[in-house]
Amino acid sequence: MKELETLFKELELADGVHLLVFCFRFTEYLTTGLQRIFESLIASTHGVQVPIVAAVTHAERMKRAPEDWWSRTEPQRKEKGLIFANYACVSTLEDEDCPVTPGRRGKAKNDLWRLIKGHAKPLLPCGSLPKEVNVIIFGQAGVGKSSVVNLIAGRTIAEVSPDVEGCTMSSTEYRFVVGAHDFRIWDTVGLEEPVVGLNAYFEATLKAFQLIRRVAAAGGVNLLLFCMPGRRITRTIQSNYRLFYEMLCESKVPVGLVITNLEQEKDMEAWWMRNQGVLHDRGIKSVAHACVTGLPCHPDKYTLSRAAIYGLLTDCDRFGRYTMPPDDWFGKVVKNMKSLVVGAGLPKGEKLTQALVTRCGLKEKDAKQLRRHLEESEHEGTYFQTAGVGLLTYCQCRPKKGEKPT
């Protein structure tokens, strides 16, 4: 009882309690013991008005429809003061458990999600401003980043164009409010190969320059969302992780993994259970994950995906915001990204300045500044001593043409 009161007070001092879910096992007759537990729960709220819903487990033991049981036990609930805004009768068994029931697990998830979504108090108190959360979402073209943006927003705001590929580090900004959060999201193109040529390096450097200025002007970044397909973990996936986590944000911004294209999985979360060890072994670590589909034509899984991605974002909003002066930030990124270049080295002196002006479209002042950062990194002997050294390793052992990635 004391622990419950303490927890409730702590939550009230934070964002408040939005919903109480009272879980109890299916039974034909509601007991006095159940009544006492419910009364303790009510007492712990100290009069704060919070909606209460019932989650009734062991639904597989019901001989009648859940609606019939709920209606038949209504007199018992009234007598014992068990008042609920609504209910869901669910089973915690897997589909394969005895008795085998296809779709049982998915139905339970959907029923509980609808119960919570339909009865939780508004997350944002009247008159309060939503909390700003700045997110860089990245991954290869075609992985479904735009669909993930739409999934978060709950509506179509990003055009889904799987055939369109942009330059590495090019980004599109979206801003919208969901619940208690004001999201500013930069949908950013990642690498298509583990390494890049000289032209691609110049273009990526320019796009990184633009991205850093925008993010810094917005106050920094709270979270990196790494979108990757639910397939094999390739060197390009590893390179993208290092490009954004280590090179762009110096391993100082938390990463949330979003596993996409899982509509064919019977249980989307099963992908994570099978692959989390492999991800860890490949150096891809995260503070949270979401297994999703961005296709509304799979309504049940789409609903679960919305819950998963929003849960990831709200769980990660407790972290601070990373930022630094744009010039210093850009200088560090430029040095780090040099380890991506394969083939011919960078031009020297004024040739480098002219290349930055003609190939990247930089103003001469900005081109000279960038050239200074590049030349300083060579003089300091940091060419391969930055966080990008991990990518250099992969460049050296990248698969040959026609060879499958491991």
Sequence-separated contacts (24+) of 399-403 with Cβ below 8 Å: 399/235
pLDDT in tens, 344-384: 566 677 877 787 677 656 678 877 877 776 666 555 433 32
What pLDDT sits at residue 377? 55
Residues present in the chain in total:
406
pLDDT at 367: 75
Distance from the first to the final alpha carbon of the chain: 53
Please state, in angstroms and rounded to a whole number, the distance separating the CA atoms of residues 231 and 116: 32
Confidence at residue 25, expressed as pLDDT on a 0 to 100 scale: 93
Alpha carbons 264 and 350: distance in angstroms, whole number = 54
* Radius of gyration over every alpha carbon of the chain, rounded to an integer in angstroms: 26
Classify residue 131 by burial, with Cβ atoms within 10 Å: 0-12, 13-18, 19+: middle
> pLDDT tens, 116-167?
877 776 655 566 677 889 999 998 888 889 999 999 998 899 987 654 556 7
pLDDT at 8 (0 to 100) = 79
Residue stretches of the chain with pLDDT short of 50 = 163, 380-406
CA gap 130, 166 in Å, rounded = 32
Q: Scanning the structure block, which residue is given the tokens 């949330």? A: 256
Position 19, amino acid: L
Compute the 3-state secondary structure of the chain and give helix, strand, coil in percent, each to the nearest 5. 45, 15, 40
Question: C-alpha distances in angstroms, 53 versus 21, 81, 89, 115, 279?
Answer: 5, 13, 11, 8, 38
